[in-house]
Amino acid sequence: MRPADAFVAAVQHHQAGRLAEADRLYGTVLAAEPHHLHALHLRGVLAHATGRNDEAVALIGQAIALKEDVPELHYNIGLALWALDRREEAARHWSRAVALNPNFAEARLNLGNALRETRRFNEAIAQHSAAVQLQPQSPLAHNGLGLSLAKAARSEDAIHHYRRAIALQPGFIDAYLNLAMLHAERGETGEALALTMRSIEIRDTPENRAVFAGLVSGIALDRDEPALRTFLMRALEQNWTAPNAFAPVCISLIRHGPLRAPITRAAQAWPGRLSSEELLGAAGLAAVNDRLLLALMARTVVGDTAEGATPNVSQDAVLDIASALARQCFINEYVYALSDDEEARARRLRDRLGAALASGDAIPPLWIAAVASYMPLHMLPGAGMLQARSWPAPIAALRQQQISEPREQAALRAGIRQLTPIDDEVSRAVQAQYEASPYPRWMSTGAPKRYASAEAFLRERFPAAAFGSSGRTGALDVLIAGCGTGQQAILTAQQFAAVRMLAIDLSSASLAYAAAKTRALGLDAIEFAQADIMRLGALERRFDLIESAGVLHHLADPYAGWRVLLSLLRPGGFMRIGLYSEIARRGVVAARALAAEKGYGSTAADIRRFRQELMRSGDEVARDILRFADFYSMSECRDLVFHVKEHRMTLPEIKGFLSEEGLLLLGFEIDRRTARSYAARFPADLAMTDLDCWHAFEQEKPQTFAEMYRFWVQKAATPGDTGGRS
C-alpha cells in the first residue's frame, strides 16, 4: 500500500474509532515517510486519546519541529502535556495556538483554565470571555468563564454563566456542581444542596455524591425534609461515603419526623425510663418504624443522647426494628448503661436461647435480635448452632455481623506479620488498649474520587498552595502509620490510580479488622503489618506519601515519632498529619479529670457508669464531650476519655517543628464554613497557611479543630529548600 493510501485509510479508521488499526497504519506511513507532518500529528492525537501521553508529546513535538506555525499542533500537544502534569509547558503551547489563531476558542478555553489555576484570574477571565464571544452557545465556555469569575470573587457574574451553561446543556453535571459550590461558599447551603440533588436526579456520579456528602455533613435543620430523607436513604443504602458523615443530618431529620413526640417524652423523663406504652403513646410501635433511623442504626454509631432512651423491644416488635437496634448495639459496643433489672432479664433470655439451641427446639427470631441487643452473638454458648439454621433476612444479617465477621477477624489475626518489636513502655500500654478495643469500629466506606497522582489530589484540595511535584511517576508508595481498623488506609488505596501501601499498627486485633474489610472489598494493594513507629527507622523502604492521623499524640514523644516518619519520606514527598489541639480539647481534659476524681477506670462497666454520670452532670465544661461522636461508642469513648497516653499540641509548637524540619505547609482539612470565616478574618492569607493567623483564629473560635489539627505538608525536594515551588 502506498504511503498516501495508508494515510487515508488510517484517518478513516481513526474517525470510525478503530484506533488499533489506525495506529498501525500511521506507523506504516511514518516508516516510509518519517517526516510526514499529518501522520506525526494524528498518531500523537491517537496516543493521547489512549493514555500514551509521553508518546503523544514526542510525536506532536516532531510535527511542531517541522512546521511551528500550525495552531492545532500546539493545542493538541498542550492536552498531552497537561495530562502529564507539565502544566506550564501546556499553557505555553495553548498561548502560542491563540497567538497563531485568535479565533481558536478551544485553545482560549484551555489557556484560561491554566491561567486560573495559577491564580491569574483577570487573564483567565479575558481568555474565557473571548471563548464565549467566539462560541456563545458553548456550555463549556460559559462554565469555564463562570469558574474564573467565581475565583475572582465576581459571584453574581459567575452565577449568570453557570446558569447559562445549564440552560444550553440541561444535563451538564459539572455546571450544576460548580454553581452548587459557589452557593455553598456564599453560605447558601440550601440552594447548594437543591442543585446537587437535582444533578443526582439527572445522573448519579461519584462527583455529585461527594458534593452531597460534604454539604449535608454540616447542615443544621429545624424541620423534617422528605426529599432530603429520600436522598439520604439512597446514600446509606448505596454506600455513597462513610455513613458516619450522614449521621448528624439524619438525626436532625429523625428528631423532627415521626419520632418527634416519643423523643420529646423520653428527653423530659430522662434519666428516668418510660415503658413502651408511655414512650410511644397511641401510635404504638409504628412510631418507631422510621426507615431512616433503621438504616442509620444498621450502619454506624448513632451519636445522640436520646438513643439511651430507646425502649426495650418486646415480642410484638417488628423484626426489622429489633434487628436494626441489635446491629446498632453491636456497632456501639453496647455502650449504654443498664439497670440491674434489665441486665438480669437479658441474661435470662440469653440462657433460654442457649438452652433452645442446645435442645434443637424452635426459636422465635425475635429472641435472637433481643439477645443481640445486649451482647454479641459470637459470645453466646452454641453460637455455631445459630450458623447451622436458616433464618429470616434480618437475623441472617445479624448472624453475619456478630458471628461470621468476628470469626474471620480472629482467623486473620493469627496471620498478621510483625514488622518490628514493640518494647517501648508507652507503646506496649497503647497496644494493650487497642488489642482490647480495636478502634474505630466501622461498617463501610464510600467509593472516593480517584486521582492520577498525589499532586492532582492536593491541587484540588489546596488550589492556592505553592507546592512542587514530587517527581514521582508510576505507582505511589504509601505508608499509613497507625492504620487502626483500616478505614483511612482503604480510602487512600481507593483514591489513587496505582498504589503500593504498607499499613502498620500496634494492635493485631485492629489490623485483623482492617484485613477483613480489605478482603471484603477485593483490594490487594495493602500490606498490613504490626509495628511500632518508634522502631521504623530501620525500615529500608521509602515512601511518596505518609499518613499518620490521630497517632503521634499517643507516643511517648510525638515529635520524635514524626521525625522517624520523615526519615522514611522521599524528598518532595507528602505527609498527612493529625494532632490533638490543646485549645479545642479543654472539655476532654475536664472530662478526664472528672473520671479520675470519681475513680472510674477504663473497664466497660466503668465507662458505662461514667457516661451516665456525665450526662447527668452539671459540669458544662466536661459535658462538652457529648458533642463528640466518639462519646457514643465503647472503644471510641475509651479512646476519648480513658486513653493511656495523650499529648495535645498548639499551633506555635507545630510551626516551630515545621520550620526546623524544612516542611512546607499545604493546608488544613477544614469545612467550608470555617474556610469562609477564616477568609473573612484574614483575607490576605489566600493560601490559608499562616499559622500565626490560624493560632489567633483558634483562640477566638476554640472549637475550630475540635477533633484534631489535620493538615498536609511537603518535604523539601533538596536540602535547605523550604520555599514554595510551582
Structural domain boundaries of the chain?
340-413, 425-583+648-715, 586-641
CB neighbours of residue 139 within 10 Å: 21
Residue 258 is placed in which grid cell?
415521626
Residue 315 is placed in which grid cell?
415480642
pLDDT, residue 220, reads: 78
Percentage of residues in the chain having pLDDT higher than 70 = 94
pLDDT, residue 447, reads: 79
At 473 the three-state DSSP class reads coil
Q: Is the pLDDT of residue 292 over 60?
A: yes
pLDDT, residue 316, reads: 40
Q: pLDDT tens-digit profile of 26-68?
A: 999 999 999 999 999 999 999 999 999 999 999 999 999 999 9
Q: Is the pLDDT of residue 80 over 90?
A: yes
Q: Is 684 exposed, middle or buried (0-12, 13-18, 19+ CB in 10 A)?
A: exposed
Residue 247 is placed in which grid cell?
449521621
- pLDDT averaged over every residue in the chain: 91
Distance of CA 214 to the CA centre of its chain: 10
Q: Which of 85-94, 164-173, 464-473, 561-570 bottoms out in mean pLDDT, i.e. has the lowest?
A: 464-473
Indicate the pairing of strand 526-530 with strand 499-505. parallel
Q: Is the pLDDT of residue 472 over 90?
A: no
Residue among 298, 300, 294 nearest 244 (CA): 300
Give the separation between CA 461 and CA 712, rounded to whole angstroms: 10
Residue 297 is placed in which grid cell?
442504626
Helix (H) or strand (E) holding 50: none
Give the separation between CA 377 and CA 462, rounded to whole angstroms: 46
Q: What is the third-level CATH fold of 425-583+648-715? A: Rossmann fold (3.40.50)
Q: Which residue has better confidence, 274 or 329? A: 329
HSE-CB of 379 using CA atoms within 13 angstroms: 9
pLDDT band at 375 (very low <50, low <70, confident <90, very high): very high
Helix (H) or strand (E) holding 650: none
Q: Which residue has better confidence, 590 or 321? A: 590
pLDDT, residue 726, reads: 30
What is the phi/psi pair of residue 186, to 5°? -85, 0
Quick one: average pLDDT of 72-88? 94
Residue among 245, 194, 246, 248 nearest 220 (CA): 248
pLDDT, residue 717, reads: 85
Task: Note whether 284 and 265 are within 8 A (CB).
Answer: no
Indicate the pairing of strand 663-668 with strand 709-715. antiparallel
Quick one: average pLDDT of 402-427? 95
pLDDT, residue 304, reads: 60
Q: Is the pLDDT of residue 237 over 90?
A: yes
Distance of CA 365 to the CA centre of its chain: 37
Quick one: average pLDDT of 207-213? 93
Residue 581 is placed in which grid cell?
489541639
Quick one: average pLDDT of 179-205? 94
Give the separation between CA 560 and CA 295, rounded to whole angstroms: 44
Peptide bond into 719 cis (omega under 30): no
Q: Is the pLDDT of residue 286 over 80?
A: no
pLDDT, residue 281, reads: 65
pLDDT band at 306 (very low <50, low <70, confident <90, very high): very low
C-alpha to C-alpha distances, 423 to 419, 506, 535, 581, 688, nearest whole angstrom? 13, 11, 9, 28, 40
pLDDT, residue 61, reads: 97
pLDDT band at 515 (very low <50, low <70, confident <90, very high): very high
pLDDT, residue 618, reads: 83
Q: pLDDT tens-digit profile of 308-366?
A: 334 443 444 468 888 999 999 999 999 998 889 999 999 999 999 999 999 989 999 99
Q: Which of 69-73, 407-411, 472-476, 666-670 bottoms out in mean pLDDT, i.e. has the lowest?
A: 472-476
pLDDT, residue 411, reads: 95
pLDDT band at 724 (very low <50, low <70, confident <90, very high): very low
pLDDT band at 282 (very low <50, low <70, confident <90, very high): low
Q: pLDDT tens-digit profile of 152-188?
A: 999 999 999 999 999 999 999 999 999 999 999 888 9
Give the separation between CA 523 and CA 526, rounded to whole angstroms: 7
Q: pLDDT tens-digit profile of 689-711?
A: 999 999 999 999 999 999 899 99
Q: What pTM did the predictor assign?
A: 0.83
pLDDT, residue 276, reads: 65
Q: pLDDT tens-digit profile of 488-504?
A: 999 999 999 899 999 99
